[in-house]
């Protein structure tokens, strides 16, 4: 991993910031020994979204099971570990607390150091599990809760150069899916419909100020709602595929264009996409084509490393551990935690 020489650093990582209870064992921040995710999607479906209290209840039921499974699949004992890493924030506070308290109890009982990891740093470092990260690097983080452009000049250095001013991209996907009457989670369904569509309803692109790397998706979401409303009033049927295609084109065009402009300005050696929406086929294809033309290496992790998982937390924790970062048993959940560099 670049300038870090890791000699068999084995980390147990735990993630419970939203609706997945996950544990993984990672060697040297780059090798997945085991990666276990207990998803709650089925349980939240009937509510049309993640219910925090229900998520917390599931986490407490699953937490020791997933940790045990991660150890069993890795054929390891606590004595084989060097540290415990856990998502400290951001996320749902009640959900975060289950992973954090389990991590603290496990670390204490087994006399291991503990590290609190930022969830977005985790998403970015999911890429380190696929190929070495090359700096300077630009990461486009897109998920249900985040839309950010992050510039990294080296390991542990994060500069958020752009972020959403209202809805996260994934949030807009879920809301538009609801307008179209698609079941939760709607993002993957819209992606699918967009590919089935021949024609697209044209929706606006929101660019904000000329030099801004920020995003805004609430206007686009409203445009879709207004379109449906107008069509309903006229008694006309909408084409879900055309709406999905038009919506997706707008999101993808803006994300791609801003990522490209930032990659040029910051002269990066690598561009990576991360987060649940990075699994979106339309976005992936657009970024792949764009950066192939530009001649900048572009990577996106496989689907199971894009959605929430603990392997990415272990990947981010490894360079933190090497940099001497340590948490302690007073660690608390930080629902609004900011992405901060751990190097000067």
Partner 1 sequence: MIWLGIETANAPLSVAVVKDGKVVAEVIQNIKLTHSAGAMPAIENILANAGIKTNELDAIAVSEGPGSYTGVRIGVTLAKTLAWTLQKPLVGVSSLKALAANAALYDGLICPIFDARRNNVYTAVYNGAGFDVVVADYHDHIDGLLNRLKAFESPILFIGADVDIFWDKIIEVLGDYALRAPFSDDLPRASEVIRLASMRDLPSVEAIHHFIPQYKRIAEAEANWLKEQKEKAHE
What are the structure tokens assigned to 291, written together? 């950066």
Does the protein bind partner 1 through residue 229 (CB under 8 A)? no
d(CA 10, CA 39): 25
Residue 203's CB: how many other CB atoms inside 10 A? Answer: 23
- Of 98, 133, 243, 278, the residue at the interface with partner 1 (CB under 8 A) is 98
Does the protein bind partner 1 through residue 94 (CB under 8 A)? yes
145 assigned binding-site residue = yes
From the list 97-105, 172-180, 184-192, 228-236, the region that binds partner 1 by CB under 8 A is 97-105
Q: List 249's β-bridge partners, or say none.
A: none
From the list 34-42, 59-67, 257-265, 311-319, the region that binds partner 1 by CB under 8 A is 59-67
d(CA 274, CA 121): 10
Tell how many helices (H) and how many strands (E) occur in the chain. 11, 10
Within the chain, what is the greatest distance between any pair of CA atoms? 68
Q: Give the chain's radius of gyration (CA, Å).
A: 20
Does the protein bind partner 1 through residue 330 (CB under 8 A)? yes
- Of 25, 32, 36, 67, the residue at the interface with partner 1 (CB under 8 A) is 67
Strands 20-27 and 10-15: antiparallel
Task: Report, in Å, the least distance between residue 338 CB and partner 1.
Answer: 19
Does the protein bind partner 1 through residue 108 (CB under 8 A)? yes
Strands 270-274 and 137-142: parallel
280 assigned binding-site residue = yes
**Under 8 Å CB-to-CB from 230, ≥6 apart: which residues?**
none
- Of 2, 45, 72, 110, the residue at the interface with partner 1 (CB under 8 A) is 110
49 assigned binding-site residue = no
Nearer CB in complex with partner 1: 97/206 = 97
- Of 2, 41, 45, 65, the residue at the interface with partner 1 (CB under 8 A) is 65
From the list 43-51, 212-220, 288-296, 298-306, the region that binds partner 1 by CB under 8 A is 43-51
Kind plus residue range of the DSSP H or E element containing 31:
strand 31-39
Locate all alpha helices (DSSP H) within the chain, ordered by sequence: 41-45, 52-74, 93-109, 119-125, 169-179, 187-196, 218-233, 240-265, 281-294, 303-306, 311-322
Nearer CB in complex with partner 1: 111/267 = 111
Does the protein bind partner 1 through residue 40 (CB under 8 A)? no
From the list 27-35, 47-55, 294-302, 306-314, the region that binds partner 1 by CB under 8 A is 47-55
Nearer CB in complex with partner 1: 84/194 = 84
Nearer CB in complex with partner 1: 59/245 = 59
Task: Report, in Å, the least distance between residue 82 CB and partner 1.
Answer: 16
How many binding residues for partner 1 (CB under 8 A)? 32
Residues 112 and 104: beta-carbon distance below 8 Å: no
b/e for 82-110, b at 16 or more Cβ within 10 A? Answer: ebbbbbbbbbbbbbbbbbbbbbbebbeee
Positions at the binding site for substrate? 141-145, 174, 187, 191, 280
What are the binding residues?
119, 123, 141-145, 174, 187, 191, 280, 308
Residues at the interface with partner 1 (CB under 8 A): 46-47, 51, 53-54, 56-57, 60-61, 63-65, 67-68, 78, 94, 97-98, 100-102, 104-106, 108-110, 329-333
């Amino acid at each position: 991993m670049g300038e870090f020489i890791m000699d068999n650093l084995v980390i147990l990582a735990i993630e419970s910031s939203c609706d997945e209870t996950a544990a993984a064992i990672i060697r040297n921040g780059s090798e997945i020994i085991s990666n276990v995710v207990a998803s709650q999607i089925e349980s939240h479906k009937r509510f049309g979204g993640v219910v925090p209290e229900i998520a917390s209840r599931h986490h407490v039921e699953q937490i020791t099971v997933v940790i045990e499974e991660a150890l069993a699949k890795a054929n390891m004992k606590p004595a084989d570990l060097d540290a415990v890493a856990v998502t400290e924030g951001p996320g749902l506070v009640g959900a975060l607390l289950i992973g954090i308290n389990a991590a603290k109890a496990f670390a204490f009982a087994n006399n291991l150091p503990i590290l609190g990891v930022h969830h977005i740093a985790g998403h970015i470092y999911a890429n380190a599990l696929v190929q070495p990260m090359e700096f300077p690097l630009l990461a486009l983080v897109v998920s249900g809760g985040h839309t950010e452009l992050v510039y990294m000049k080296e390991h542990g250095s994060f500069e958020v150069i752009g972020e959403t001013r209202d809805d996260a991209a994934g949030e807009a996907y879920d809301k538009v899916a609801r307008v179209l009457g698609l079941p939760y989670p709607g993002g993957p369904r819209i992606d699918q419909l967009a590919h089935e569509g021949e024609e697209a309803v044209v929706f606006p692109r929101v660019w904000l100020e000329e030099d801004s790397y920020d995003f805004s998706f609430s206007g686009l979401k409203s445009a879709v709602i207004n379109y449906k409303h107008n069509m309903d009033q006229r008694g006309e049927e909408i084409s879900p595929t055309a709406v999905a295609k038009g919506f997706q084109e707008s999101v993808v065009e803006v994300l791609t264009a801003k990522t490209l402009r930032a990659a040029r300005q910051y002269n990066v050696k690598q561009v990576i996409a991360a987060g649940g929406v990075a699994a979106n086929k339309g976005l992936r294809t657009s970024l792949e084509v764009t950066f192939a033309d530009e001649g900048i290496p572009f990577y996106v992790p496989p689907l199971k490393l894009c959605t929430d998982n603990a392997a990415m937390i272990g990947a981010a924790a490894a360079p933190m551990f090497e940099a001497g970062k340590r948490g302690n048993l007073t660690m608390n959940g930080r629902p609004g935690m900011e992405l901060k560099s751990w190097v000067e």
